[in-house]
Amino acid sequence: MAEAKKGFSLSTERGLVQGLMRGGLILSALLMGLGLFLHMQQGELGLHGISMWEIFRGQLPLADFLLTAGIFILALTPAFRVILLGFLWASEKDWRFVGVAVLVMVTLILSISLGGH
Amino acid sequence: MEIGIPTILALAASGALAGLLGAVLGIGGGIVIVPTLVLLFGFDIKIAVACSLVSVVASSTSASSVYVGKGLANMRLGMLLEVATTLGGIAGGFLALILSPNLLSGIFGVVMIGIAIVTFRKTESSASIPAAAVEGAPSAPEDSPGYLSGTYYDAYRKSLIHYKVWNIPFGGLISFVAGVLSGLLGVGGGFMKVPAMNIAMGVPIKVAAATSNFMIGVTAISSLFVYFAKGFVYPLVAAPVALGVVGGALVGTSVAQKISPWILKKIFAVVLVVIALQMVLKAWGGFHG
């Protein structure tokens, strides 16, 4: 017997996930593009690695901040997609897959915290 | 060390080429970006891998948003396999930090030769549908709570295809290994996941490719966060390459529909072998230099 689908319709679900991913990509591309433009305009083209934690310390020059924030938002977009799907499946009461989404998020949080040490 | 505006433009052009090839040939850009940054621009392989992971996230996010909209990506299957790929990605990221750059270059070269062989042998399989998949109306609700089965519209056959997924433990194992390779070498790992899903798990090739793409972003960030926290991401290198990849992939997606990639695949496979040998020789020189 086919179970009636609860929560959002499938097309709404897909539209929300698609919108989140496109939004994250566009925002990060804008920030990276602006950061690159500022770097090239100021002629400050020194190569160095930047840790993602430096975004929160407030000591980065604007051009570096924009570039790093763009990359950080890009990296967070798939993580937000996992959270969004977890909520959408929760609205369908699909607890098995909500559990799977939580497990993926825990693993990602583990990678962030392990990377810091 | 300073770079000039021409170098930034060259990095963006390399990214665009990788994105274009990736879209046309159905491969990840990482396999092109890493050797380009190491052999052409002279960057350390760990910096190249970190920058490649940023590009892999960008291209995967761009492509999978399209696949999700078309209903090709099986999001529940993707999420389930992401548990294994993220664990593999973390393991690969940490492994890369402790391995010597020469050993990494050597491993990269060997994996590239493997990918070249897979690419060279790959046939025109756009219509490859497992025998268990059926055309017509689904017998079970697709994309429903608790279900891993799915339905998609196949433009080639002009009909709905319903399929069921099996052999999840095997898919998890392959996804873990693909995650390790992604974290270690900055590649997407689709070359392993797509055939595994198609041949061993009963997933039609188009859905397997879309689902693999959907997963790659999460796989890549699990190791990217490790590199990013350790300061291996050079924003002035990663940003132009990532922007180039997205632009190249956009062009490639429209071009891919109009050209037959068969000959391109064969040429690309040969080029991959040549680059792979250069990577292995560079590693060999580093060990004995």
Assembly ipTM: 0.90
> pLDDT below 70 — which residues of chain B?
26-28, 122-147, 256-262, 264, 285-289
Spatial separation of the C-alpha atoms in residues A78 and A25, rounded to whole Å:
10
Say what the pLDDT of residue A108 is: 92
Task: Please identify among residues 181-220 of chain B the ones whose CB lies closer than 8 Å to any CB of chain A.
Answer: 217-218, 220
Task: Read off the pTM.
Answer: 0.86
Core vs surface per residue B51-73: b (16+ CB within 10 A) or e: bbbbbbbbbbbbbbbbbbbebbb
Query: Which of the 8 DSSP states describes residue B274?
Result: H
**Do residues B233 and A49 make contact, with C-beta atoms less than 8 angstroms apart?**
yes
Query: Which of the 8 DSSP states describes residue B156?
Result: T
Question: pLDDT truncated to tens, each residue of chain A (117 aa)?
Answer: 344 456 677 788 889 999 999 999 999 999 999 999 998 888 777 788 888 888 888 888 999 999 999 999 999 999 999 999 999 999 999 999 999 999 999 999 988 887 765
β-pairing, B134-135 vs B159-163, is antiparallel
Spatial separation of the C-alpha atoms in residues B243 and B228, rounded to whole Å:
18
Dihedral sign from CA coordinates of B46, B47, B48, B51: positive
Say what the pLDDT of residue B140 is: 47
Candidate from B1, B58, B76 with C-beta closest to A25: B58
Say what the pLDDT of residue A3 is: 46
Task: Please identify among residues 61-80 of chain A the ones whose CB lies closer than 8 Å to any CB of chain B.
Answer: 64, 67-68, 70-72, 74-79
Say what the pLDDT of residue B57 is: 93
Say what the pLDDT of residue B141 is: 45
Say what the pLDDT of residue A12 is: 86
φ, ψ for residue A43 (rounded to 5)? 70, 15
Taking an 8 Å cut-off on Cβ atoms, the answer to whether B94 and A74 are in contact is: no
Taking an 8 Å cut-off on Cβ atoms, the answer to whether A111 and B93 are in contact is: yes
